[in-house]
Structure 1
Amino acid sequence: MALARTLKANADLVLVGALVIAVAALCVWVPLFWPLDPLRGVFTATFKPPMTTIGTELHPLGTDQLGRDLLARLGQGTLISLSIVVVASAISVVLGTALGMIAGYFGGWVDAVIMRTVDIQLAIPFILLILLIVAVVGPNLVNLIVVLGVTGWAIFARVARARTLEVRELEYIEAARAIGLPRRSILFRHVLPNILVPQTVLLTLDLPRLIILEASIGFLGLGVQPPTPTLGNLIGEGRSFILNANWLVLYPGIVIAALVVACNLLGDWLVRKNDIRGV
């Protein structure tokens, strides 16, 4: 009974766990153990529906327009897309948290410069800014990670600044300044631990945006270039054949939806658990 009550009270977390396990199995087990090559196509096996067996090879999710196994491509594509999102989000949260703490702690012209930069960046639609930068510097894996990371720091900076403004007025921060602790020590040993929880919650709520952005850029052909698969370019390649082979778009779309739902549910659960307001 106690276990049933716990599961019921944390139903969102249970669903998050199930979705994360399913996606993790797809992007870890398939690239490591699935025998079919995601880049090798067989022209006599094009547009085969799911659960088709060709010779001794089973295609659980069917094949694409070049006869490539969709499960193998989906597994590798999910791994690449998740890697891009995770690294880009790490860049965003580290850069934004550091600049937000500096702005909130030092104030003055430093705060004004950083916050006006935040306002300017937030005034420009993310997708247009990212597409412009990618079109200028060129579409490849490293450029995409850097662009997504650098254009996403602003929201983390605003939250970090607001929390730092609260924390810097606490008595133990004043005591640390009074005994002569360096500013760097105060920031990293006393201010940072107090803003980690809100930043972590904000990260989980921001991940869906990054997932959709990465998929959108791949869909438009400005992300990782074919034949290397990602969730976005799998949908982009399959959209021309959606009437004849809807599985080419359906399964990558399901994976994107699962990731977005899992991140949103996890973020909502963390907000409720930590009683965080205004994130």
Structure 2
Amino acid sequence: MTHSPTITVPSRLSAALSFWRRADPIQKLAILVAVGLIGMALFAPLLAPFEPNSQSLISRLRPPLGFERAKAGYLLGTDELGRDVLSRSLYGLRLTLMLAVLGASLGLVIGGVLGLLAGIVGGRTEAAIMAAVDTQIAMPFTLIALFLLAILGSSIEVIVLVLGLYGWEQYARIVRAEVRRMMKMPFIEAARAAGASPLRIAHHHLLPNIVSPIVVQFTLSLSNIVLLESTLSFLGLGVQPPTATLGSMVGIGRDFMPTAPWIVMVPAVMILLITFAVQILGDWLRDGADVRLRAR
């Protein structure tokens, strides 16, 4: 009697397939959109048909292919300087996502460290940190960003710093609340009774148990940081020309919307897709991390 060979699926692939099967149609669409955007950003140099800053004034304000006056090779048309809109959008997507990820990561580190410190140390340290959190929440961050950019300039490093300061208070509040809750648990009391240092308790016992809410908050804040960067670039305070970001393309193209709306529409649609994908996936992760919702 012959037996059919058993096909073993690698555990990571099996987990990915299970993750995909549990998703509803909207979540699957968000996954595909996110994968597509990340792929376009990573392979922008290979996908872009032209250099993003290459100008051709005789080809300025040409519409996308399929419209009258369209020029062969320029799939999504050209801007006011004859630059290829598709190439600039791909490179702008790449830079926008890079700034958003770096800014969100910096905010996570700042807020996570301060929240961990507030939850473990307590006392005046906790009061000072939470006072800073309340101050940050009370002040419109756009004004803070404008103030910092006006003083420090708008280099890439300064923009990353400004974006990193956005939303750190949310991480600090989440981490502090989780740490204070876990500090009362028996396994933490046992570790302290055994002589474990606060650093060891934080590294071995606290951090592994607060990864889930931090990851959820990271995804939810990422789309907000993309919108913030786009807003700053739209106002002319972000990355300076000729370097393209999605927000700067929208900001420059707004003067040409009556005659050349494609200059604005392409980067605006990309911003919309980013926020859609990240928000849907963030809500999904949040629901998955909620024990009560999983039980239902």
Q: Deviation at 1:9? A: 4.6
CA distance in structure 1 between the aligned counterparts of 2:39 and 2:187, rounded to whole angstroms: 46
Find 1:173's aligned residue among 188, 204, 212: 188
- Structure 2 residue 81 is matched with structure 1 residue 35: no
Find 1:47's aligned residue among 61, 81, 84: 61
Task: Verify the 8 A CA contact 2:120 2:198 in the aligned structure 1.
Answer: no
Q: In the superposition, relative to structure 1, how do residues 176 and 268 fare at CA in structure 2: closer, same or farther (>3 Å)? A: same
- Structure 2 residue 29 is matched with structure 1 residue 15: yes
Instruction: Name 1:187's counterpart in structure 2.
Output: 202
- Structure 2 residue 248 is matched with structure 1 residue 233: yes
Q: Deviation at 1:276? A: 6.0
CA distance in structure 2 between the aligned counterparts of 1:9 and 1:224, rounded to whole angstroms: 37
Mean alpha-carbon deviation: is it higher for 207-216 or for 29-38? 29-38
Instruction: Name 1:26's counterpart in structure 2.
Output: 40
Instruction: Name 2:269's counterpart in structure 1.
Output: 254
CA distance in structure 2 between the aligned counterparts of 1:205 and 1:31, rounded to whole angstroms: 29
Instruction: Give the TM-score of the pair, scaled to structure 1.
Output: 0.93
Q: In the superposition, relative to structure 1, how do residues 114 and 8 fare at CA in structure 2: closer, same or farther (>3 Å)? A: closer
CA distance in structure 1 between the aligned counterparts of 2:76 and 2:42, rounded to whole angstroms: 17
Give the 3-state SS of the residue equivalent to 2:73 in structure 1. strand
Q: Deviation at 1:22? A: 2.3
2:53 partner amino acid: L
Calculate percent identity across the aligned residue pairs: 38
Tell me how many residue pairs correspond in the alignment. Answer: 272
Give the 3-state SS of the residue equivalent to 1:161 in structure 2. helix
1:204-251 deviation line (CA, Å, top 9, x unaligned): 111111010000000001010000000110001100000100001101
Q: Deviation at 1:32? A: 2.8
Q: Deviation at 1:8? A: 7.2
Find 1:90's aligned residue among 105, 117, 126: 105
1:238 partner amino acid: G
CA distance in structure 2 between the aligned counterparts of 1:178 and 1:10, rounded to whole angstroms: 47
Q: Deviation at 1:262? A: 0.7
Instruction: Give the TM-score of the pair, scaled to structure 2.
Output: 0.88
- Structure 2 residue 159 is matched with structure 1 residue 144: yes
Unaligned segments of structure 1, at least 5 residues: none
Where do 4+ consecutive residues of structure 1 move more than 4 Å?
6-9
- Structure 2 residue 149 is matched with structure 1 residue 163: no
CA distance in structure 1 between the aligned counterparts of 2:22 and 2:113, rounded to whole angstroms: 38
Task: Verify the 8 A CA contact 1:198 1:276 in the aligned structure 2.
Answer: no
Q: Deviation at 1:7? A: 4.5
Mean alpha-carbon deviation: is it higher for 181-190 or for 9-18? 9-18
1:168 partner amino acid: M
Give the 3-state SS of the residue equivalent to 1:39 in structure 2. coil
CA distance in structure 1 between the aligned counterparts of 2:277 and 2:128, rounded to whole angstroms: 36
Tell me how large the CA RMSD over aligned residues is.
1.8
Task: Verify the 8 A CA contact 1:12 1:266 in the aligned structure 2.
Answer: no
1:70 partner amino acid: V
